[in-house]
Copies of this chain bind each other. A is one copy, B any other.
Amino acid sequence: MMNKIKYQNTLDEIYTEVITLFGQGKVANYIPALANVEPNQFSMSITLIDGQQFNVGSHESSFSIQSISKVFSYTLALRSSNKSLDKKVWREPSGNPFNSLVQLEYEGGIPRNPFINAGAIVICDSLISTSSSQENALDKMLKLVKQCSNDPSITLNQSVAKSEMQSGFRNIALANLMKSFDNINNDVTDVLQNYFSQCAIEMNVQQLSRSFLFLANQGIDPVSKEKIISSSQAKKINSLMLTCGHYDASGDFAYRVGLPGKSGVGGGIVAVIPGKMAIAVYSPELNENGNSLIGTQALELFTTKTGVSIF
C-alpha cells in the first residue's frame, strides 16, 4: 500500500489527465433538471478507513446521486430482514440496458437485481411495506444517508424528483408491468414517488466517499463505530456492486477497474476497496452505457497508478 502522502499526488495527476477528455460524453438529457448541468466538471474524493480524506476538483459541489441511491435502499431492505425479498428480486447481472422491460416480461415480473431500475422500484415497494406511519420509507432512507456520511445537511432536490415523476414514462411502464405480475404491493404512484425522491438526493464526492466507508469495513462505520449492517451483508452488497453495479457495462467496469462500485446517470460513481477505502468521483458527461465517462477513466487510472484491486 502506498504512502498516504502520495494519495493527493495521485489524485492531482488523475485530474490533469482526465480534464483533457471533457466533451467526449453526453450529459443525461431525459429530464431538464439534469440536462442543464454544466458538463465540464470533475471532482474526486478518497476516504480512508481511518477517516482521512483526499480530494481534487470541485469536491464541494453537490450533484444528483440518482442510481447510487439504490445501494442505500438495498442496504435498508437487507436490514429489515424481509424474508420475501429473495422472491421479489434476484441477484444476477441482467445483460440488458438498465430500463429494459424485455427480461422482466419473460421472467414474470421479477427483476434481475436490485441495482437496475425495476429492482430498485421493487425495493422501494418493500421499504414502504415495512415502514410505519411515524417514519416513512423516504425519511428512513435520508436518515441512513446522513448517518453513513456523517453529515445531517444532506437533502434531496424536489424539482428533480418532480421532473422525473412527470417524464419518467419508462419507469412508470416498468412499475406497472411488475404490478401486473403482482410484484408491487403498494400503489404504483406512491412507489414511484418514493423511487424518484431517493434518486434526487444530492451529495458531493466527499460526502459520497465517506458514506460508503461502512462497505469497506465489513458493515461497520470505522470512524463512528456504528454497525450499519452485518459483515456478511456488506460482502453481499459489494459482490452485487461488482457484478451488477454498472448496468450492462458491469463486466467491463470489473475488467477495467476491478472494484465493486455503483454509478448514477447524474455523473457520480462510488467504489469500494475492502479494508482500505471508499472512492467517489463525479463528472456529468456519460458514455453510451449511461456511466460517467471521465469518472470511469479516473477510477481505472487510480487502480493502475496505485496497483490496488480486489483481484
- Which residues of A pack against B, CB within 8 Å? 90-96, 100-103, 105-106, 112-113, 169-170, 172-177, 179-180, 188, 234-236, 238-240, 242-244, 248-252, 254-255, 258, 260, 274, 309-311
Contacts and interface: CB of A to CB of B under 8 A. Distances in A.
B103 A101 contact: no
Given A92-B248, A235-B311, A239-B311, 6 more contacts: A92-B95, A95-B95, A95-B112, A176-B176, A235-B309, A239-B255
A134 to B, nearest CB: 30
Given A100-B105, A101-B101, A251 B170 contact: no
Secondary structure dominating the interface of A: helix
8 contacts: A100-B105, A102-B106, A169-B176, A169-B177, A169-B180, A239-B258, A240-B251, A274-B311
9 closest A-B pairs (Cβ-Cβ)? A95-B95, A93-B93, A238-B311, A92-B251, A169-B180, A173-B176, A173-B177, A239-B254, A170-B180
A283 to B, nearest CB: 23
A50 B172 CA distance: 50
Nearest to A234: B311
Given A252-B92, A255-B240, A179 B188 contact: no
A235 B90 CA distance: 27
Nearest to A272: B311
Nearest to A246: B92
Nearest to A274: B311
A237 to B, nearest CB: 8
A5 to B, nearest CB: 24
Nearest to A310: B310
Contacts of A113: 251
A92, A94, A106, A238 — most chain B CB neighbours (10 Å) = A92
A244 B251 CA distance: 8
Contacts of A188: 169, 172
A309 B102 CA distance: 34
Contact of A102 (B90, B105, B173, B258): B105
A93 B90 contact: no
Contacts of A260: 311
Nearest to A232: B304
A94 B93 CA distance: 8
A279 to B, nearest CB: 15
Contacts of A249: 92
Contacts of A90: 251-252
B169 A251 contact: no
B243 A254 contact: yes
A179 B171 CA distance: 11
Nearest to A113: B251
